[in-house]
């Protein structure tokens, strides 16, 4: 018996929580459906092509980035519906816990560097697009405990704006966007961004490019 529960609606996609039968009789498990919303201002055929391409791209990014960091596991991709069906992660947004667990800022920096090392740009780095998963909640889930042990407590979500690039400019832009939202959201957190950078360990070239991007933003 499948049950759908509306979860969230954004500018690009609608998220619906699906409760389906589990692997054992009588058990249930949660999945998350991400379906891209048709845009009425676009030609219907073009709109479908765009939504299909973005769905395909996001699914590919999620699969590839899973080799380095934790992300929701994809269960099914339906390009005609512009839908990705994935594992529902039972965690808290990093935004909600980071000020009590500042070490997670450094951990986030380490994980972002791993994503960039794959030649992947997230495109929308915020502490709302990272989930903290506490292993204490999963004492009986050996698979989840294994994932946490291997790749840490943070899960990255929403690669809808992600793309492939190894350019210093694109990595720097990804970090500058994150810095802006991080400092605005966690202004009361002492040395928060420094901890992110401590984890990332940017080289001089990347730091210089970040400074240049920030200067451009200030003067335009």
Spatial distance between the Cα atoms of 29 and 179, rounded to a whole number of angstroms: 36
Q: Which CATH number fits domain 3-87: 1.10.10.10, 1.20.140.10, 3.40.50.720, 3.30.200.20?
A: 3.30.200.20
Q: What is the pLDDT along the chain (220 residues), one digit of tens a residue?
A: 466 766 677 778 899 998 887 777 767 888 999 999 999 999 999 999 999 999 999 999 999 999 999 999 999 999 999 999 999 999 999 999 999 999 999 999 999 999 999 999 999 999 999 999 998 888 888 999 999 999 999 999 999 999 999 999 999 999 999 999 999 999 999 899 999 999 999 999 999 999 999 998 765 4
- Core vs surface per residue 24-63: b (16+ CB within 10 A) or e: eeeeeebbbbbbbeeeeeeeeeebbebbbebbebbbbbbe
Mean pLDDT score of the chain, rounded to an integer?
A: 93
Task: Return residue ranges of the chain for CATH 1.10.510.10.
Answer: 92-218
* Predicted pLDDT of residue 203: 98
Single out the catalytic residue among 23, 47, 78, 124: 124
Phi, psi of 20 (to 5 degrees): -125, 170
CATH number given to 92-218 = 1.10.510.10
pLDDT at position 11, please?
72
**What confidence score (pLDDT) does residue 6 get?**
61
Domain with CATH 3.30.200.20 in the chain: 3-87
Identify whether 124 is a catalytic site residue: yes
Q: How far, rounded to the nearest angstrom, does the alpha carbon of residue 192 sit from its chain's CA centroid?
A: 19
């Amino acid at each position: 018996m499948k049950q759908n529960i509306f979860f969230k609606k954004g500018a690009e996609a609608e998220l619906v929580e699906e409760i389906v039968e589990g692997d054992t009789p009588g058990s249930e498990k949660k999945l998350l459906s991400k379906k891209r919303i048709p845009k009425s201002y676009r030609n219907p055929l073009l709109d479908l092509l765009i939504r299909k391409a973005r769905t395909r791209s996001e699914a590919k990014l999620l699969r590839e980035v899973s080799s380095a960091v934790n992300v929701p596991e994809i269960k099914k991709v339906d390009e005609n519906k512009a839908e990705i069906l994935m594992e529902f992660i039972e965690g808290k947004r990093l935004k909600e816990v980071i000020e009590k667990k500042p070490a997670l800022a450094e951990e986030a920096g380490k994980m972002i560097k791993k994503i960039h090392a794959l030649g992947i740009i997230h495109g929308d780095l915020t502490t709302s697009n990272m989930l903290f998963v506490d292993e204490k909640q999963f004492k009986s889930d050996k698979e989840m405990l294994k994932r946490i042990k291997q790749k840490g407590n943070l899960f990255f979500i929403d690669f809808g704006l992600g793309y492939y690039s190894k350019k210093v400019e694109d990595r720097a832009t990804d970090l500058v966007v994150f810095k802006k939202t991080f400092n605005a959201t966690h202004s009361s957190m002492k040395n928060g961004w420094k901890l992110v950078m401590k984890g990332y360990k940017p080289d001089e070239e990347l730091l210089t490019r970040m400074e240049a991007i920030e200067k451009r933003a200030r003067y335009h």
